[in-house]
Amino acid sequence: MLWLAGVAIRAPILAIPPVIPLIRTDLNMSGTEIGELSGIPMILLALAALPGSALIGRFGALRTLMIGLLITAIGSMLRGFSSTTAILFAATAAMGMGIAVAQPALPVMVRQWLPSRIGLGTATYSNGLIAGCIFPVAMTLTLIMPALTKSWQLDLMLWSIPSFAALLFLAVAAPRSEEHLSVGEKPAGFLSGMDYGLVWRIGLIFGANNCIYFGTNAFLPPYLNAIGQPHLVTEALSAYNAMQLPGSLAVLAFASRVERRRWPYIVAGLCLVLNLAWLSASAGIWTIAAAGTLGFFSGTTLATGLMLPPLLSKPSEVARVAAAMFTLSYALAMVGSIAGGAVWDLFGHPRFAFFVLAVCALPLIVVTPTLDFKWQY
């Protein structure tokens, strides 16, 4: 159930990148509008992180997750009825709101369902998140679109099924008893007394990962179309998203050696900048190779970024610091996505959007040295 829930809150987002060229043509969208479309889920995740935590405290993690999945499924399905950009944006916003409500419930459910195996539970839904990235980009253009007469509307409706399936599975089979959360675990809805300096720093660092992740998925298909290689969209997106799995597994394997070190963040940041430069100048098989290595280091920064709240904040403050980090990091990702689209429009080629993403990676290099990993509560 945790794994399927992870798939359900990620697959609808990644259903968009493979069909962006078709959507752009049918709805006559600009590069800036493509950036805005990709950024809508991010801004909803930013705005609803803390309110989502408050819903968990009021209704419980399971009910909150089910509410979020229902909204996600409906919004995702309604995207298939989009005849204008405004309708597509509205349906995407509804989907993003559902994901924003559902996402904070998963860590709480891990603690409730698997209190003695939190690592296993977290790894399970994290694997579902990555699988939710891989399935749409690997299957859309090769299997689904040919079967649906190349209708991007039907394709988006189809990718609402995982959310409906997860909701049905939870409604039928999920344990209904929820343990009372302690003060240190209960999601908080207020930011009073928080270390804002810490929040800003880890928000910038995790925001770098989010900017690159969402931006690459949004701008890679138009880039391949612009250089006359649309047949490589599936392979390049699959390489980028699939290689995040070994990246995150590498961090898991060497967790004790990297969790309180600055160098993994700095090295990964440098590699991300170099890979983005390589990607923007590549063609053919080298684009797939660049996307794959970029995905590997994106996977490492995702895993190490999620370590920051529990490593650097008091036990009683982890939930609030994590929620604030998500709020800031997704907001920064939204800005990065829109800026990438605007630079694309300004210079007339989508490759220039990758230079904006490279700038977004810089906090991994320049902000990480300011963190004190030696201090422990």
Are 135 and 215 within one domain? Answer: no
Q: Which one-letter amino acid corresponds to residue 222?
A: P
Residues shown for the chain: 377
The residue out of 139, 174, 209 marking a domain boundary is: 174
The residue out of 142, 174, 206 marking a domain boundary is: 174
Tokens of 104: 């904070």
Q: What is the pLDDT of residue 81?
A: 92
Are 163 and 200 within one domain? Answer: no
Per-residue model confidence as pLDDT tens digits over 152-169: 999 999 999 999 999 999
> Among 298-307, 308-317, 358-367, which range has the highest average pLDDT?
358-367
Q: Is residue 81 part of a domain?
A: yes
Are 157 and 293 within one domain? Answer: no
Which CATH number do you get for residue 128? 1.20.1250.20
Are 199 and 163 within one domain? Answer: no
Q: Degrees (nearest 5) of the Cα angle 357, 341, 361?
A: 10
Q: Which one-letter amino acid corresponds to residue 327?
A: T
Q: What is the mean pLDDT of the chain?
A: 83
Q: Is residue 184 part of a domain?
A: no
Q: Is residue 181 part of a domain?
A: no
Q: Is residue 267 part of a domain?
A: yes
pLDDT band at residue 193, thresholds of 50, 70 and 90? Answer: low
Are 140 and 206 within one domain? Answer: no
The residue out of 110, 143, 174 marking a domain boundary is: 174
Q: Is residue 186 part of a domain?
A: no
Residue 90: CA count within 13 A, CB half-sphere:
8
Q: Distance between CA 197 and CA 263 in Å, rounded?
A: 21
Are 211 and 95 within one domain? Answer: no
Domain count along the chain: 2
Q: Is residue 30 part of a domain?
A: yes
Are 157 and 204 within one domain? Answer: no
Residue 296's domain spans which residues? 193-377
Per-residue model confidence as pLDDT tens digits over 47-57: 777 777 777 76
Q: What is the pLDDT of residue 120?
A: 63
Average pLDDT of the residues in 132-146: 86
* Residue 27 · residue 88 · CB < 8 Å: yes
Q: What is the pLDDT of residue 234?
A: 82
Which has the closest alpha carbon to 224: 107, 132, 122, 349?
349
Q: Distance between CA 101 and CA 84 in Å, rounded?
A: 26
